[in-house]
Chain A
Amino acid sequence: MQIRAELALQAVLKSLTEVIAPAVDPGDKMAQEQIGLVIGLLTLVKSRLPGAFAYDCDELARLTELATAIAPPAGSDALQQALDRGASTLERAQASPADLTTAIEALRRAIGDAASALPARSDAAGRAAVRALLDASSAQLLRERSWVSMQGWESDPGSLPDLEMLISGAADKGTSP
């Protein structure tokens, strides 16, 4: 999926600053103020978005450290339960979003390199690999089409399963793509 927040925000900010803001009526003080605030807020979000996951991990680490220090004297069951849950979550949050996208890109590239030569294969293993690639593409494209369905490209958008159902795996148990 390439329509990611960083790219979309970059393009939106360029449009707002170079095309839309200069066209806002200078006499409309509220519109002038709010276009400035919109640009400022989106700039803040864009600059902080890449670090948001690391920020949350850092905060959770420090909170678990603090909770570890005060749980015994506090004697609170609720605090101990929250601490256990937080520590467990922190332990599972080892890979960052950037780690995930880097791994995805590497696998896409390696599979792509292998895919170019597959159509020339006439043996059973080659044909099976082509079949697997087409089936995997079908499943992935269902998710990508659902991701952007609100843009209005589909002639029958109602036929697409909800994205949440697809990525939770529920769709695979019910309907085939």
Chain B
Amino acid sequence: MRQNPSNRFLHWLEIVPSIAWILIALLIVFCLITPHFATLDNLFNLIRQGAVLTIVATGMVVAITSGGIDLSVGALIGLTGTVIGFTINRGLSWPLAMVVGVLVCSLAGLISGLIISKGRIFPFVVTFGMLFIARSIGLGLSQGGSIHIAGQAFSMIGSGYFLYLPIPFWVTLVAALIVLFFLKRTVFGRYIFSIGSDANSASWMGIKVDLIRVLVYVLSGTLAGVAGVVMASRVNTGNALIGQGTEFFAIASVVIGGTPITGGRGSLAGAVLGSFVITVLQNGLTLLGLSSQLTSAIVGIALMLGVIFAQLVYRGGLRGK
């Protein structure tokens, strides 16, 4: 508990997630030691690279807060792209194909959510199965390789600008705002916190736990679909394997952002900042001239330490509840 409530500055310091300081420190370090890091081009580049992870992380934070997890998001990113490629190449217009791609992911989320809530199976197990299923469907649709997406219009989402800023920025912003709205301004959001801290009590209170759970996974799946659209449009191909591993980076973003993996509490801002940290780290190290393998090694080690540290801090040890 704060001893001195009148000290506004300290209060402000307290509500800023710790991860923000790490992000600021990283940005300063990279600005000083990395050539071409602090340029407008690179900033836009960062936004485009980071959008996919940030969007997925906003969905993941909802799933984890509700006491669950969604391991299928990486595979869903790949699935979206292949569905879009598959349908566009069969003559569907690109906006429609995009909607179909996202809806397929919502459907996958719906199925996961139904099995989790009605079958009473651990989210880990169900979404783990869904990972296999989604990746396999993507591979099957693309015949194992990748599908080139015909036409230039679709690639505008990844490379275009709106109001002087890259379109992925706006997509990410809208996604984050929608999740924020759900979490903070709707009953649905409040219930997510309740079922995350104690599903049984929530159910006795008359909260429709099953329904909320289903909605959580629909939301997470849909956001993975949106991320998949951005990804597919950036590379202008549908590739079933392209999102592989994103689920883990999204989970890492959420955890280093201060959300306990056990659910019940969650920080959307933390998750978004966490995903920025990962993106900045990857981008900065690459600009330093490190090989991609070495970059991923260093990012891996940093995340490992970050995850351990975050769990220690946010478990309520160092900081209080």
Same complex for A and B? Answer no
Binding site for A on B (CB under 8 A): none
